[in-house]
Chain A
Amino acid sequence: MSAAPDEHHEADVECIRRVRGGDPDAYGPVVRRALPQLRGLLWRFFKNADDADEFSQAALVRAYEQLDRYDATRPFYPWLRRIAVNLALHELEKRKRFARGEELELSLEREPASDRSDAVTQERELVEQTDRELDRMPPGWAAVFRLRCMEEMSYAEIAECLSIPVGTVMSRLARARCRLAEALAAEFGPRRKVSP
């Protein structure tokens, strides 16, 4: 799912022009076009609907308040996404600071892997393990990985979104992949072909 729905650019710009002219209701169509994709992105960061909804709302309202800073020559969604990702990252970093102790307890309490008898169960476990490991790593690494793998953004787009150099994007992505691969290898041993 690639971001930047350029086909909406002109419509977005027209609505935003009206908003800037003093018509807040003109923001409605912009919200409608951006919301599903934005919410999906934020769900990947938070893994729950409540947070995804709350931060979608926060990002869209924040974007509205800062519309004067939006460059209308560029697509709206990447600009909005940048605000949303930064809000999400800030929140995740805050939660991580407060939850270090709880995380340790949860990892100790976690039930051992099930019998892994069927491929579906095994695949679900792999996905869950990947998710857990993403949550454990520094939010900045996980954000780069999520934007690359889930949003299919280019290095340059990620760099712009997170305000970091492309080299940092590449190194964070490499570290995130290694961390995940190490965790999966430690949990499941070397990868074997999943039986069909």
Chain B
Amino acid sequence: MSEQDFTRPECARWRELLAQRVDQELEPEQERELNQHLEGCLACQGVASWIGEVDGLAAMATPEEIDEETLQKLEGQIMASVRRAAPRRPRRAVWRSVGIPTTAVAAVIALLTWMQTERNAELLEPPAPASLDRIEPREPEAQSLRKNEVQSEEPTKDGIASRDEGAAGALNEPVADVEAKSQSKSAEAFEEARRQSEVAAGDSDLGQSFRERADTPAPPAREIEANTPEEATPRPGGKLSDDARAYGQPVATVTTAAEEEQDSPMSLRSTLELAEREPSPDNLRRLLTLYDVRVSATKRDGAGRLRVLSSPSPTSGERAMSLEDSVRVYLLEVLRETEDEELRLELEEALRE
């Protein structure tokens, strides 16, 4: 090995000219200056002696020959993968085909989500005390549905009601039933609030009482059980959602899933926060993967519909939807700014639909 150091930062300009000279002629003045420098610089002479050779040396590294049999085998593997991929080959989204930007679609989704949330909030808005009488006739229906709900929350053989089973069961219900259930839960909640207000004599502002109850931190599960033992007994191994804590009763398990997801160290939310803090390609890809999984699962099992229609709480519905929208909006920003071509392709693919 040569003892001489050929990496000389002070010669950077001359090295650049040497490299340029491989592909194209220099300006006469540049050529003259370079030759003048070369006369006095042994390091640059050494580099100049090799720089015209490196292209040829690199080209000598020829690929291993591939025989026909191996080629056919590889083709077979590729076509097998292609056939497996065929059903999921994404079709061009309608809005893209007519030139509507994805960001505009995201904005519309966000708006619709907000409107749905507002609608849920209206359903839950406590009426004035005088109007409670008008809710009374719905009690039998509410009781009936409550009975069904309690039955559906009964433990399975192993004592743990599966979240998927709960979601699947709810999916089997007609949409109208789910909506009716959602509305009757509102009536049920008002009824519960009314009973509570009767117990707490002197509290004449029922609406305010209800709001306080919904907004204040939940009492421990044991306390809820003591208050409404027939309704609020949590499933073995399960936990109560915000809705359960607010109304003192167990509710649809999908919202519990959202809570569990939020609590997990590798949740979509924590990964989003990590990616925003440290937008490294690895963190962004992790976020993209989780987002993709979430959206795919939502599409596959219709959980999105359930989240909106079955949850009586605007809080949980809003949280689940807005998190995905937040991730989507963030990923769209990354897509606009990233110079990582591979990441860009992955983002485009995931955000296309």
Contacts and interface: CB of A to CB of B under 8 A. Distances in A.
Interface in A22-78: 24-25, 27-28, 31-32, 35-36, 39-40, 43-44, 47, 49, 52-53, 56-57, 60-62, 64-68
A149 B2 contact: no
A190 interface: yes
A180 B52 CA distance: 10
B4 interface: yes
B342 A31 contact: no
Contacts of A57: 74, 77-78, 81
A44 B62 CA distance: 7
A149 B58 contact: yes
A177 B57 CA distance: 11
A181 interface: yes
Interface in B39-81: 43, 45-51, 53-61, 63-64, 66, 71, 74-75, 77-79, 81
Contacts of B78: 31, 35, 56-57, 60-61
Prevailing SS type, chain A contact patch: helix
Interface residues of A, number: 64
B149 to A, nearest CB: 43
Interface stretch (B85-93, B124-132, B247-255, B324-332): B85-93
Interface stretch (B18-26, B101-109, B139-147): B18-26
Contacts of B1: 112-113, 186-187
A123 B85 CA distance: 45
Interface residues of B, number: 57
Interface of A: 24-25, 27-28, 31-32, 35-36, 39-40, 43-44, 47, 49, 52-53, 56-57, 60-62, 64-68, 82-83, 86-87, 89-90, 112-113, 123, 126-127, 130-131, 134, 145-146, 148-150, 162-163, 170, 173-175, 177-178, 180-182, 184-191
Given A87-B342, A90-B343, A184-B53, 6 more contacts: A27-B82, A49-B66, A86-B342, A181-B6, A186-B2, A186-B5
Interface of B: 1-2, 4-7, 15-16, 18-20, 22-23, 43, 45-51, 53-61, 63-64, 66, 71, 74-75, 77-79, 81-83, 85-86, 88-92, 339-345, 349
